[in-house]
Amino acid sequence: GQNIDQPTEMTATEGAIVQINCTYQTSGFNGLFWYQQHAGEAPTFLSYNVLDGLEEKGRFSSFLSRSKGYSYLLLKELQMKDSASYLCAVKDTDKLIFGTGTRLQVFP
Amino acid sequence: DSGVTQTPKHLITATGQRVTLRCSPRSGDLSVYWYQQSLDQGLQFLIQYYNGEERAKGNILERFSAQQFPDLHSELNLSSLELGDSALYFCASRGGVDTEAFFGQGTRLTVV
């Protein structure tokens, strides 16, 4: 079976740092993606991890531990425009399976 | 602009009807994925095609079918529509093995 868990909602303050966790149990694993989705819009790619460790990309970083079935997305220096849903997705052989997403609200 | 084109953008139809959603992937991308996203829900994986062949299937209803044509565009056919089929339907395409999927802007289907 496949199970990808993320918190449903999070809130944070502008300028702060927030960490969004994702745990997964899938029959196969070929990489993990993070996407950002504003309401009613298409998801857009943020990061990709296939090996354990941290990948940094500007204000966004993503971490993967394959042995623990765990990833997190770290957002630094939060801006109001970062208010969106953040989707964790696992590539399981040919499938790309998404979690339900974490809705992040950034307050001034 | 992701390079993935979906048409139509909006579709309103009655229960019991049949509709076809179309997706043109990014130039050169062989993989096409279809997803359904109901209001405030996650992306539900429906089906994936690779170079014209069905590669993986998710929770796709028997009333739904898809295909990928020789020019690599794909169509998702939804029949005997029910109110619960109202959702955003996204298509995504991928190039190589370790590349991300790029999403189209989606088709918003409303069944009345």
Instruction: For A72-106, write each residue's pLDDT tens digit.
Output: 999 999 999 999 999 999 998 878 899 999 999 99
Tokens of B88: 């955003």
First vs last C-alpha separation in chain A? 41
Q: Which residues of B87-102 are buried (b: 16+ CB within 10 A; e: fewer)?
A: bbbbbbbbbeeeebbb
pLDDT digits (tens, 9 = 90+) for A36-82: 999 989 999 999 999 999 999 999 999 999 999 999 999 999 999 99
pLDDT of residue B99: 82
Out of A42, A50, A89, the one facing B106 most closely (by C-beta) is A42
pLDDT digits (tens, 9 = 90+) for B21-77: 999 999 989 999 999 999 878 899 999 999 999 999 998 999 999 999 999 999 999
Chain B residues with CB under 8 Å of a chain A CB are 2, 31, 33, 35, 41-45, 48, 50, 55-56, 58, 88, 90, 92, 94, 97-98, 100-106, 108
Distance from CA of A71 to the nearest CA of B (A): 17
Name the region of B97 (left: φ>0; alpha: ψ -120 to 50; beta: rest). alpha
In this model, does residue B98 exceed pLDDT 90? no
Residue A33 and residue B100: Cβ atoms within 8 Å?
yes
Which residue in chain B has the smallest CA separation from A47?
B100
In this model, does residue B97 exceed pLDDT 70? no
d(CA A79, CA A58): 13
Q: Are A40 and A90 in contact (CB under 8 A)?
A: no
